[in-house]
Amino acid sequence: MNTTRKPRRKAQLYVWKDFCPDYTSGIAFALAHDEEEARTLIRCAHGDEPREWGSLTVHDANKIVGYCVSGGA
């Protein structure tokens, strides 16, 4: 009996700042196994291909992290 298991892929937090800016900058995030999966999740949530992704940072899902995006005029 073969009990070898495939290694589990670790999820990471993908955060795009300046996502689809209009009057103010937006933010998008996804908890996914890779960037391709994260972008697919964002496309589904957005309902279309975002016109501008902004800058991406990737964080390990087991690390504590906080972000905020302030509104403004």
Per-residue pLDDT reduced to its tens digit, 6-44: 667 899 999 999 999 888 888 999 999 999 999 999 999
Looking at residue 5, the DSSP 8-state letter turns out to be -
**Helix intervals (H) in the chain:** 35-46
Q: Provide the token pair at 69.
A: 């995006």
**How far is 70 from 40, CA to CA, in rounded Å?**
26
Check whether 57 has a pLDDT greater than 70.
yes
Average pLDDT over residues 59-66: 90
* More confident site: 62 or 9: 62
Q: How far apart are the first and last CA of the chain?
A: 65
**How far is 19 from 26, CA to CA, in rounded Å?**
5
